[in-house]
A = this chain, B = another copy of it.
Amino acid sequence: MSGSHHVPALPLGIQRPTLLLDKDKAIRNIEKMAGKARKSAVRFRPHFKTHRSAGIAEWFREFGVDAIAVSSLDMAAYFADHGWGDITVAFPVNLLEIDKVNSLAAEIALGLLVESEEAVQFVAAHLSHRVSAWVEVDTGYGRTGVQWDRPDEIVELAQAVVATDRLAFKGLLTHAGHSYHAASKLELDAIHHDSVARLAYVRAALRAEGFSQVQLSSGDTPTCSVVDDFTGLDEIRPGNFVFYDLRQVRIGSCSEREIAVAVACPVVAKHPQRNEIVLYDGAVHLSKDSLISADRTPTFGHVAFWEGDGWGLSLPDTYVSSLSQEHGIVRTTVDVLEQVHVGDVLIVVPVHSCLLSYLLHDYHTLDGEIIPSQSTVGVAT
């Protein structure tokens, strides 16, 4: 668009905020996690809520993946339609969608999460096919699941499950999401080991009541990225690792070079008097997820230049400082401002990659392939 620009223009014909995917990085991220799971002899059941794409899902098959986790029944139906036959819906079972549960259970090996007798009784009374049930255990995150230090309650729930005809008790499942507040490898190691120990404690209570087969499932990207040995678990379910993002860099799960998605954004205005650039890239493209700096200012993304065959590292002292519905305001330096012109495209490295496919729908790989995500092909309503 402008003659004096020293960085190469994107070859992809970008006109509006566009989700870029570096396929090589994503495949390396999958390979690394699959290798760690294999070394520890645990089942690798990746969470597909991050990419929500049947095309990207195929890349996992190369590494022996045939069991997955998703976060809704609609997402389970989407992946079942694309040939996935073993799916855990890692979300408290939604009783209002019992018809979707039944149609899925007729087709695939379906796993559900239960955390109340109310849910167990309702589901058992309405199921027309056999389904696996995991009891969700809260090992410290405090979001969902029965608290690990109430083993009697968990035993009662497991007994309620086995008393039904249609539910097969599978084991204990946790999401140690408090790992997202960690700030060091030491802290992540401690969260992981505490969480596994708490699951093992509950399993001991179940064994004392005669439960012989109790699998343990855990999975969050921070601990799964940092811990090398998953001994004690039967399966891991990380999701975000396929793309990573700035939040994971801050936690210490990955380096910036491992982030596999970014958003290409048109430059629509410049304000040199306050060192700002305005991007066509708002809350409807990036989401309002932010990282908070030490001085309490929020960052909605870092900014990079296109470098010919991919995007470069974040530019120094340059970040998305605020978002409106369609506007993204970038605070930057005189040096960057001089290189950027209205009509150029900048790359925003995201704070949270999991929401991007909901907002931007298609992935554009660096060699020009377009890979749709679930929402492009229709969200069930």
In the complex, are the beta carbons of A97 and B358 less than 8 A apart?
no
Which A residues from 189 to 210 make CB contacts under 8 A with B?
none
With a cutoff of 8 Å between Cβ atoms, the chain B residues found around residue A144 in the complex are: 269, 278, 327
Is residue A246 within 8 Å, beta carbon to beta carbon, of the partner chain?
Answer: no
In the complex, are the beta carbons of B358 and A94 less than 8 A apart?
no
Is residue A93 within 8 Å, beta carbon to beta carbon, of the partner chain?
Answer: yes
Q: Tell whether A266 pairs with B143 under 8 Å between CB atoms, given A324-B177, A341-B118, A381-B361.
A: no
Q: Tell whether A326 pairs with B284 under 8 Å between CB atoms, given A270-B116, A345-B96.
A: no
Q: Which of B1, B71, B288, B370 contacts A326 (CB 8 A)?
A: B71
Q: Tell whether A343 pairs with B96 under 8 Å between CB atoms, given A142-B274, A325-B71.
A: yes
Interface CB pairs A-B, < 8 A, 14: A1-B95, A15-B94, A49-B325, A72-B326, A96-B266, A96-B345, A116-B269, A118-B342, A118-B343, A143-B329, A144-B269, A147-B273, A287-B288, A288-B289
Interface positions of A (Cβ within 8 A of B):
1, 14-16, 18, 49, 71-72, 74, 91-97, 100, 115-116, 118-119, 122, 142-144, 147, 177, 266, 268-270, 273-274, 278, 280, 283-284, 287-289, 322, 324-327, 329, 341-343, 345, 354-355, 358-359, 361-362, 370, 379-381
